[in-house]
Amino acid sequence: MSEIVSVSGGPTKPEIIAVSLSKLGLQDGDRFADVGCGTGSVSIEAARIARNLTIYAIDARKEALLATEANFKNFRIENARILAGEASDLLGSGGSIDSVDCAFVGGTKNIDIVLEKLVEKKARSIVVNAVRIETVVRTIEAMKRLGIFDEVVHVAVSRSAPIAGETMFKPENPVYIIVGKTKA
């Protein structure tokens, strides 16, 4: 198995990816947007869950796009487009993405606008990961305004570490997983 090429702030921890993708409800053939894709690790796991997934990996950071490109190559991810720029622009009218079924938002400066654009693109489910409480509040408020707010899950993970010949646990930073779903 290949190693993930890393960037600052990533990759998203496997436990957080597992919960996030379970809340997303990916289906075979979905169009999946990975906003603030970082290393592409969420897209890589999503491609393992759903067959024939079309991936739009979006990030404004050059280092993230290079890491995603390398990771997609190493993990043989096909049917993926790596898009450079602000998600709010790329998802806007005249952008290169016509529709989205599901979206994972791992980072963005313009969460309100990104959520609006994803709803316009007919995304049936959106999962946002946040570590800052202000981002959590802004995301919940925006999702409620858009009529898609479903729930927030607070996930705290600790990993074992040796201490004096025995085992202790060291906490990872907690993550808030904010879920939005369209009412069918």
Tell how many helices (H) and how many strands (E) occur in the chain. Answer: 6, 9
Give the model's pLDDT for residue 184.
Answer: 65
- Mean pLDDT, rounded, of the chain: 93
0.75 exceeded by pTM:
yes
Helix (H) or strand (E) holding 134: helix 133-146
Stretch 29-49: mean pLDDT, rounded?
96
pLDDT in tens, 157-179: 999 999 999 999 999 999 999 99
Is the CB of residue 16 less than 8 Å from the CB of residue 41? no
pLDDT, tens digit, 9 for 90 and up, residues 62-108: 999 999 999 999 999 989 999 999 999 999 877 779 899 999 999 77
What tens digit of pLDDT does each residue of 128-162 get? 999 999 999 999 999 999 999 999 999 999 999 99
DSSP SS3 for 108: coil
